[in-house]
Structure 1
Amino acid sequence: MPGIDESRPFIPVRIAVLTVSDTRGLDEDRSGNTLVERIEKAGHILADRKIVRDEVELIQAELKAWIANDEVDVVISTGGTGVTGRDVTPEAFEALYEKSIPGFGELFRMLSYQKIGTSTIQSRSTGGVAGGTYLFALPGSTGAVKDGWDDILVHQLDYRFMPCNFVELFDRLQEHQKRTKS
């Protein structure tokens, strides 16, 4: 049965939050604020927080900076995952992935379907790994942020969660780099 193994220590993860929006500032960023509250309540560290416009180059510039930063383990974004012309978050993220985590988007949509029905088909939520950093893109609604965090990420970013979790894989995320250098 999946769950928390209390015999394992909690390991705080350093998480950067990226809001993708053409219109929001920090004061109006309810989804980003919700995500930050949940990250901190879970005992993790808010490593950084930014808001960028829905433009591939701007999103990727921030992602690349965080991927290169040893003080960031995970990036979670909110916004820009829909199907309109301005929604480019998945394209920005996926172009940087060394490994995609297709199950993240699949599971997000399955869970979301139980709450909003077929409207979940409009979400292009995505996850992957680049430079040893986990990258997750959630839709911009507060409900979607709650679903993504409460139903998936709070568990997978907790070292105590069994039978497995993302935290226990941090040291192995760049094994391919070691193989190519030998």
Structure 2
Amino acid sequence: MTGPPLVVLVGPAGVGKSTVGRLLAERLGAGYRDTDDDVAAGRGRSIPEIFAEEGEAVFRDLERRAVRRALAGHGGVLALGGGAVVDAGTRALLAAHRVVYLTMGAGEAAGRVGGGAARPLLAADPLRRWSELMEARRDLYEEVATAVVPTDGRSPGEVAAAVLGALARVAP
């Protein structure tokens, strides 16, 4: 499916963008794409390996390019990595799309981000680091969002249903 995405999911690490994105894609009869997966596949290494071997700056450049390609050519459900919104160019591109910001509180995050091994920016003291990243990025998520859907205390299916409800209220 080409064309612009039906919906773009943004939010912090652990909020469920991938899980909810796959459910949404299934319910919408569309494809699912995750830009973190695109970056990892393009480099033939995991995100933690890219961070460790090439650094965050290289990862962010790869991420910017992956987001640009996906926004231009993926007509399904698109999930962005938690830090993608840090880039002003990415935020500008997102202005033309339906973007749902999935939120969760620190209490919920404590149970979801765990050891952080798969999330390089959360490797040391995951909950403290998650809270710091949220504080730095919250306004950016809100800036790009056309809808906000809380995930606290909800199953992935309930979140997907809430996203579909939010999309029904947002002009295409």
Q: TM-score, normalised by structure 2?
A: 0.40
Higher relative contact order (CA 8 A, sep 6+): 2
* Larger strand percent: 1
Q: TM-score, normalised by structure 1?
A: 0.38
Q: Specify the structure having the higher radius of gyration (Cα).
A: 1
